[in-house]
Amino acid sequence: MAILADENTTILIQGITGREAASMSREMLDYGAKVVAGVTPGKGGEKVHEIPVYDTVAEACAKHHPTAAVVSVPARMAKDAVMEAATHEIRLAVVLTERIPKQDVIEMVAYAGSRRMRIIGPNSPGIISPGKTRLGYLGGSNPERAFLPGPAGVISRSGGMTTEVANLLHRHGLGVSTAIGMGGDPVVGSTYLDFFPLFEADPETKVIVLYVEPGGSKEEVLATKLGREFKKPVVVFVGGKFVDRMPGTRFGHASVIVRPGSGSGSAGDKVRRFREAGAEVVDRYSELPEAVRRALKEF
């Protein structure tokens, strides 16, 4: 089994007529994802790769009953798009849009929670369950090159590094149960801590691999639960250690910033917290596959 989405997940793409979304929808179909409808206001009646397009989520849901949404709309429209999907009882939204105002994100996450919708993102590349389905553009035009089915659950703030981690494991004969691009913004709908119970309950996931960046305290919160609430082995690589020497500067994702004198959020602090919690933290990215093999033998 996979977490969050599998071969039976039916998918709605909001903003499907946009250039990037149209290309992504083709790649999702080619992977076997069940994309049943798209929505772009004013484009109802059109088709994108034979996917019917509707003016509203209400129309699409009434005819196709999607269980998940991929949101690829301009930032100023993202909050309304997510809320519209939540109102019509879609339970999972993968929000690809970046640069959404932080207040909008807070409001849409709160509303989604009240409607029992899980949000991944914003600024997420999507999720993939190898051999089953893909929501978003994770893996690009040839996801099979990086994503091999296997026992490792992968979570990363970085979309590019989600694929790179999977590809590194693949090159060493290791595969992935589900890979999640969590999103690199300071406020996201789901954090590491939200995904861990799902991986913990998934019999196909034997080890959880994290690609971690400086900034924020999401990882430190997770570390307090390891070994107590979560028993599966965890392998971690912390990137961007140089950021610790340049406090107050932002790099890459909006959340990659370490406040001067705060301690929390630094790469060094994350390494220390995870090691104290019993996770295996590798010093070099290239060491991930062997660390995963060791974890699989011990589990």
Residue 257, pLDDT score: 54
The pLDDT tens digits of the residues spanning 223-260 come to 999 988 999 999 999 987 656 555 655 555 544 455 55
Q: Tell me 8's DSSP state.
A: T
Phi, psi for 13 (deg, rounded to 5) = -110, 115
Where do runs of H (alpha helix) occur along 16-152? 19-31, 57-64, 75-87, 102-114
Cα distance between residue 178 and residue 175, in whole Å: 9
Residue 251, pLDDT score: 52
Burial, 141: exposed, middle or buried (Cβ in 10 Å; 0-12, 13-18, 19+)?
exposed
Residue 251 vs residue 67, higher pLDDT = 67
Examine the pLDDT at 6 and tell me if it is beyond 90: yes
Peptide bond into 122 cis (omega under 30): yes
* Size of the chain, expressed as the number of residues it contains: 299
When pLDDT is averaged across residues 156-162 and rounded to a whole number, the result is 91
When pLDDT is averaged across residues 182-208 and rounded to a whole number, the result is 95
Cα distance between residue 238 and residue 46, in whole Å: 45
Examine the pLDDT at 139 and tell me if it is beyond 70: yes
Would you state the torsion angle of the CA atoms of residues 39, 29, 141, 178, taken in this order, to the nearest 10 degrees?
100
pTM for the structure as a whole: 0.93
Residue 238, pLDDT score: 93
> In which band, very low, low, confident or very high, does the pLDDT at 184 lie, cut at 50, 70 and 90?
confident
Phi, psi for 174 (deg, rounded to 5) = -115, 150
Examine the pLDDT at 47 and tell me if it is beyond 70: yes
Type of residue numbered 251: F
Positive or negative CA dihedral for 235, 91, 149, 36? negative
Residue 246, pLDDT score: 59
Among 64, 88, 170, 253, the one annotated catalytic = 253
Examine the pLDDT at 284 and tell me if it is beyond 80: yes
Q: Which residue in this structure is represented by tokens 């939200």?
A: 194
Examine the pLDDT at 181 and tell me if it is beyond 80: yes
Inter-residue contact 182 to 126 (CB < 8 Å): no
When pLDDT is averaged across residues 188-214 and rounded to a whole number, the result is 95
Residue 171, pLDDT score: 97
Residue 78, pLDDT score: 98
Examine the pLDDT at 122 and tell me if it is beyond 80: yes
Contacts of 144 (CB under 8 A, 6+ apart): none
Type of residue numbered 62: A
When pLDDT is averaged across residues 94-123 and rounded to a whole number, the result is 97
Mean pLDDT of the chain: 92
Type of residue numbered 271: V
Q: Where would I find the beta strands (DSSP E) of 112-252?
A: 118-120, 126-129, 133-136, 149-156, 176-181, 207-212, 234-238
Q: Is 11 strand, coil or helix?
A: strand
Type of residue numbered 196: F
Phi, psi for 141 (deg, rounded to 5) = -80, -10
Residue 262 vs residue 100, higher pLDDT = 100
Annotated active-site residue 170? The verdict is: no
